[in-house]
Amino acid sequence: MVSLIEKELLEILKEAIEQEREAQAKYAKAASLASLPEEKELYLQLYQEEVKHEKLLVRQFIEMKKRLGLKIMQGEIGHEEDLL
């Protein structure tokens, strides 16, 4: 049986994954708008950091669901299969 705390942790992970994806979109847009090469490079680096964070969170989400004996529904957190 999954506890309320575990359910809340899974929800927090899902929200954090979405926030990482939103940050990626913002940095990608900023990079496309940047006029100076060093600005573009900064935004691209920040984008890559957010990708790393997303991968870490997705792995944690999947590991936690497996540990709890819960099925991972396809598309539950987006394109997770691309991140593993």
pLDDT in tens, 40-80: 999 999 999 999 999 999 999 999 999 999 988 888 887 65
> Does 83 have pLDDT greater than 60?
no
Q: 11 in a domain, yes or no?
A: yes
- Rounded Cα distance, 78 and 75, in Å: 5
Q: 17 in a domain, yes or no?
A: yes
Q: 83 in a domain, yes or no?
A: no
Q: How confident is the model at residue 84 (pLDDT cuts 50, 70, 90)?
A: low
Expressed as residue numbers, the domain containing 43 is 4-71
What is the predicted pLDDT for the residue at 59? 94
CB 66 within 8 A of CB 11: no
> 3-state DSSP: the chain helix, strand, coil percent, rounded to 5?
75, 0, 25
Q: 16 in a domain, yes or no?
A: yes
Q: 79 in a domain, yes or no?
A: no
Provide, rounded to the nearest whole percent, the portion of the chain with pLDDT above 90. 81
Number of domains comprising the chain: 1
Q: CB neighbours (10 Å) of residue 83? A: 16
| Beta carbons within 8 Å of 59's beta carbon, 6+ residues apart | 83, 84
- Rounded Cα distance, 35 and 13, in Å: 35
**Confidence (pTM):** 0.88
Arithmetic mean of pLDDT over the chain:
92
